[in-house]
């Protein structure tokens, strides 16, 4: 049992290193990290199904979900870790608070992390061609193409989170 968990933790650690992320305010992980993070998540999910009382595995699964920007699952799994008697250190409790905060933030944006990454790629290309005119012209075009009924609401959410024009959506949200 512990060899399997140790191997999965090593896969997760490799994914974390490759993700190019170091803070709680995560962005979509680097593409090189995704196979490792997904393998860790899948393996850890199977592990906790087979060993539901393995607190350390729940903690690692929480970290994997956090790296993949799945904050609701990361929070639930961290809470499960704590319910199983996991260490209630200052860092663990701080992480729980931050996961709840980011869960609310992402829910407030009304757009999935993968979709935000796609918007970011679009904005990078378009803003290289033309300078930002400090409007939502490009963001609106993209949102109208993919989120027509909710585009206006998403723009309002972007403004609440520091995105007041195309270049600020790219810099502050993506």
What is the DSSP annotation of 38-104?
A: HHHHHHHHHHHHH-TT-HHHHHHHHHHHHHTT-HHHHHHHHHHHHHTT----HHHHHHHHHHHHHHH
Question: Which three-class secondary structure state does DSSP give residue 20?
Answer: coil
Which domain does 146 fall in, by range? 113-173
Same-domain pairing of 20 and 91: yes
Structure confidence by residue, pLDDT tens digits, 83-122: 999 999 999 999 999 999 888 888 888 887 778 888 988 9
In whole angstroms, give the CA distance from residue 150 to residue 138: 16
Residue 15 is part of a domain; what is its CATH number?
1.25.40.10
Same-domain pairing of 61 and 139: no
Same-domain pairing of 46 and 122: no
The CA R_g of the chain, rounded to the nearest whole Å, is 18
Same-domain pairing of 36 and 77: yes
Q: How would residue 22 be classed by pLDDT, with cut points 50, 70 and 90?
A: low
Does the model's pTM come out above 0.75?
no
Q: How many domains does the chain have?
A: 2
The residue that leads in pLDDT, 2 or 76, is 76
Same-domain pairing of 64 and 79: yes
Residue 24 has pLDDT above 70, yes or no: no
Structure confidence by residue, pLDDT tens digits, 109-157: 888 777 888 898 899 999 999 999 999 999 999 999 988 788 889 999 8
């Amino acid at each position: 049992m512990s060899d399997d968990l140790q191997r999965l933790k090593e896969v997760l650690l490799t994914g974390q290193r490759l993700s190019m992320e170091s803070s709680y305010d995560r962005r979509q992980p680097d593409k090189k990290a995704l196979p490792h993070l997904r393998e860790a998540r899948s393996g850890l999910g199977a592990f906790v199904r087979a060993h539901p009382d393995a607190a350390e595995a729940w903690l690692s699964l929480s970290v994997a979900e956090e790296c993949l920007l799945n904050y609701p699952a990361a929070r639930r799994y961290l809470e499960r870790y704590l319910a199983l008697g996991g260490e209630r250190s200052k860092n663990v409790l701080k992480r729980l608070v931050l996961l709840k905060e980011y869960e609310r933030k992402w829910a407030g944006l009304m757009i999935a992390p993968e979709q935000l990454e796609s918007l970011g790629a679009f904005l990078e290309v378009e803003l290289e061609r033309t300078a930002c005119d400090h409007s939502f012209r490009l963001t609106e075009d993209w949102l109208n193409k993919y989120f027509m009924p909710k585009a206006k609401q998403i723009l309002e959410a972007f403004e609440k989170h520091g995105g007041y024009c195309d270049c600020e959506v790219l810099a502050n949200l993506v």
